């Protein structure tokens, strides 16, 4: 079992430590939900700093620092840890005279998946009603479905992605307000957005200075997430095939993915069954590294049969691991739009994302729904003024607007801005950065 004296030492050290400089995140965890609040996400996405930001917010609201316990299970002094050691932490708090009392304590447990059977210990802490419990874990080792199953209705999970455009700019010291779009600062924002598209939003990468350092960090991330988490957790017997699958998906972001076609190509170099390939696809998706978006249809059968469009959790991973020899600006821009929409789901639990395609092959990148209602249509084009692009992007959007009876369509671009009347509707062309930084970055298109 965990040494109680070491547990007390860890607790006191955390309470005596000054809060680090923290970039404010758009995700704000609820304090009084009555649930175990969990945060999952890929490694290095900022989960630790999100917990520390919560602790700082609690202190600023008047909660005494000694009522906030932060424990990082990556601390080698606490390992190996198991469910019984959560009771050691509870007793350590009692001996330090931190509780119990009339007011609950706040227990912040970082990388909790390092403890064996952690869910049993967390449930015990929650059920004592002495603590409001917050936990984080890497998504490849602590899946949201695992949390829901293990905590049996006691938990509420939030997904944390790497920096959004607003968080990225804040980390780089750029303040954006309503005047930015009309001032010279917009050119600096546009320049930084190009860097964001290439190297993504992992906090450590954003704050790294040189490009070579950013590349080295990202390459290390790929190996850590891939080898330590993905392959080991899922006991992958054919890691070569898994690597090829991941490389293919990050190279072809924003493109339809056919598992059957890929399997026919892959099996020549890496013999495996189609069922194994499908299990690898599920592993990548569950890990939070890759997301697959279904085609919109009222038929679940058609949704399952049609190819899905693939997106990656951070464009920087594509830069260092993909095989593209061009910038593919449109694809990278579409990936950024997807991630911003996924962040919005935290505020809109009923929100779902699809792509749309009609019988003539016309496609719209994103159909946004709330329950059974289509609430937004979004097309992505880096520059609609290029030859042939306007017809290819706008005509499908107008067709979808007519099918779903929506009067407003949105085309997100790199810098182009305009507005066009189409029949009784309007198509708006908006730069991605203006849309993403416009408050919450939410879809403003409604039925």
How buried is 61 (Cβ within 10 angstroms: 0-12 exposed, 13-18 middle, 19+ buried)? exposed
Q: What is the pTM of this model?
A: 0.92
Model confidence band, residue 177 (pLDDT cutoffs 50, 70, 90): confident
In the prediction, which pLDDT does 348 show?
86
- Find out whether 276 and 282 touch, Cβ atoms under 8 Å: no
- Find out whether 63 and 54 touch, Cβ atoms under 8 Å: no
Q: CB atoms < 10 A from the CB of 194, how many? A: 13
Model confidence band, residue 325 (pLDDT cutoffs 50, 70, 90): low
- Largest Cα–Cα distance in the chain? 73
Rounded CA-CA distance 222/219 in Å is: 5
pLDDT (mean) for 307-335: 89
In the prediction, which pLDDT does 439 show?
42
Going from the C-alpha of 339 to that of each of 53, 113, 240, 288, the distances in angstroms are: 22, 25, 28, 12
């Amino acid at each position: 079992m965990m040494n109680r004296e070491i547990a007390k030492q860890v607790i006191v050290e955390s309470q005596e430590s000054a809060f680090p400089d923290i970039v404010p995140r758009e995700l704000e965890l609820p304090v009084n939900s009555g649930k175990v609040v969990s945060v999952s996400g890929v490694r290095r996405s900022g989960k630790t700093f999100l917990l520390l930001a919560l602790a700082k917010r609690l202190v600023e609201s008047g909660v005494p620092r000694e009522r906030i316990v932060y424990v990082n299970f990556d601390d080698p002094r606490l390992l190996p840890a198991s469910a019984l050691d959560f009771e050691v932490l509870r007793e350590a708090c009692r001996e330090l005279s931190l509780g119990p009392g009339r007011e609950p304590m706040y227990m912040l447990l970082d990388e909790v998946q390092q403890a064996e059977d952690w869910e049993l210990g967390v449930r015990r802490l929650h059920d004592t009603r002495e603590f409001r419990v917050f936990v984080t874990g890497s998504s490849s080792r602590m899946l949201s479905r695992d949390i829901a199953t293990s905590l049996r209705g006691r938990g509420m999970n939030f997904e944390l992605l790497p920096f959004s455009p607003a968080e990225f700019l804040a980390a780089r010291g750029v303040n954006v307000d309503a005047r930015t779009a009309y001032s010279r600062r917009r050119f600096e924002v546009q320049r930084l957005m190009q860097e964001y598209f290439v190297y993504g939003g992992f906090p450590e990468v954003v704050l790294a200075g040189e490009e070579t350092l950013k590349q080295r960090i990202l390459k290390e991330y790929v190996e850590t997430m891939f080898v330590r988490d993905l392959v080991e957790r899922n006991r992958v017997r054919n890691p070569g095939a898994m690597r090829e699958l991941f490389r293919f998906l990050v190279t072809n972001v924003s493109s339809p993915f056919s598992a059957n076609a890929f399997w026919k190509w892959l099996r020549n170099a890496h013999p495996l069954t189609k069922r194994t390939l499908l299990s690898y696809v599920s592993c990548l998706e569950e890990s939070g590294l890759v997301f697959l978006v279904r085609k919109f249809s009222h038929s679940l059968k058609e949704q399952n049969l049609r190819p899905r469009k693939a997106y990656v959790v951070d464009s920087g991973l594509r830069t260092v691991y993909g095989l593209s020899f061009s910038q593919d600006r449109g694809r990278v821009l579409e990936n950024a739009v997807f991630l911003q929409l996924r962040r919005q789901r935290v505020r809109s639990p009923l929100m779902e994302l699809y792509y749309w395609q009609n019988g003539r092959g016309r496609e719209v990148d994103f159909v946004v729904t709330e329950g059974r209602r289509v609430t937004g249509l979004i097309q992505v084009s880096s520059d609609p003024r290029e030859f042939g692009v306007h017809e290819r992007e706008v005509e499908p959007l107008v067709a979808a607007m007519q099918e779903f009876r929506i009067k407003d369509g949105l085309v997100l671009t790199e810098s182009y801005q305009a507005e066009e009347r189409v029949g009784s509707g309007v198509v708006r062309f908006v730069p991605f950065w203006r849309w993403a930084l416009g408050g919450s970055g939410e879809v403003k298109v409604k039925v």
